[in-house]
A and B are shown apart, each in its own frame.
Chain A
Amino acid sequence: DTEVTQTPKHLVMGMTNKKSLKCEQHMGHRAMYWYKQKAKKPPELMFVYSYEKLSINESVPSRFSPECPNSSLLNLHLHALQPEDSALYLCASSESIAGTQYFGPGTRLTVL
């Protein structure tokens, strides 16, 4: 089973809202990732967690705040987003930092 789940599937928020995206995997993977994908583009890496510690932050604005409460769960907290942040947000996981990445179905975010 290589399933990564993400909730919600769709999210519409205003620029003053605070919301969170959730990602879960039960494969025992110890590395988890957040990507942002704009239309007709490849995914862009945002954050990498390894053993629940932030390993990579690709210079993402502070209005995006990741959290890894345990080895199965990854959150992305959103605050004061801009319309240009509208995109598909993808979560992925891998056995280790050097392993094959498996992606979830994504959360389609619209910022009004």
Chain B
Amino acid sequence: GNSVTQMEGPVTLSEEAFLTINCTYTATGYPSLFWYVQYPGEGLQLLLKATKADDKGSNKGFEATYRKETTSFHLEKGSVQVSDSAVYFCALSDFQGGSEKLVFGKGTKLTVNP
């Protein structure tokens, strides 16, 4: 079945450092791809998404490009802030049995130090 693999972390960076969180996927067909962020004690927030190959999703300085040739959707940010400390989940949409489900990676915890 479809699956998502993301670097497990934890990742610790200093403020203003460059961030990359790797995400690769296995899928039949052409799923949509998502990054969700979960701040401590909160629910998941949609960070960005891409629905087809070569699409770039972007939000709040974060970017990810849907790469079909490498089956990847890596999350990047040029300069992280302390407020970016959170758990980041990569996910894909998986259409099965007449319904669409989200398949999540295991999550990557990011800590940004001042």
Q: Does B associate with A?
A: yes
Q: Which residues does A use to contact B, with CB under 8 Å?
A: 2, 6, 40-43, 45, 48, 50, 55-56, 88, 90, 92, 97-106
Q: Which residues does B use to contact A, with CB under 8 Å?
A: 32, 34, 36, 42-46, 49, 89, 93, 95, 97-102, 104-107
CA distance A48 to B101 in the complex (A): 9
CA distance A15 to B36 in the complex (A): 33
CA distance A2 to B36 in the complex (A): 14
Contact present for B36 and A40 (CB under 8 Å): no
- Whether A56 touches B102, Cβ cut-off 8 Å, given contacts A40-B107, A90-B44, is no
CA distance A2 to B45 in the complex (A): 10
CA distance A88 to B38 in the complex (A): 12
18 residue pairs bridging A and B, Cβ less than 8 Å apart = A40-B107, A41-B107, A42-B106, A43-B44, A45-B102, A48-B101, A50-B99, A56-B101, A88-B43, A97-B98, A97-B100, A98-B93, A100-B32, A100-B34, A103-B43, A103-B46, A104-B43, A105-B42
Q: How far is the CB of A100 from chain B (nearest CB, A)?
A: 6
Which of A42, A43, A99 has the most chain B CB within a 10 Å cutoff? A42
Q: How far is the CB of A92 from chain B (nearest CB, A)?
A: 8
B97 proximity list for chain A (CB < 8 A): 56
A48 proximity list for chain B (CB < 8 A): 99, 101
Q: Is the interface of A mostly helix, strand, loop or mixed?
A: loop
B105 proximity list for chain A (CB < 8 A): 42
A97 proximity list for chain B (CB < 8 A): 98-100
B98 proximity list for chain A (CB < 8 A): 55, 97
CA distance A104 to B93 in the complex (A): 19
Contact present for B44 and A103 (CB under 8 Å): yes
Contact present for A42 and B99 (CB under 8 Å): no
Closest 7 CB pairs of A and B: A42-B104, A103-B44, A105-B43, A106-B43, A103-B43, A98-B100, A55-B99
CA distance A101 to B39 in the complex (A): 17
Q: How far is the CB of A39 from chain B (nearest CB, A)?
A: 11
A56 proximity list for chain B (CB < 8 A): 97, 99, 101
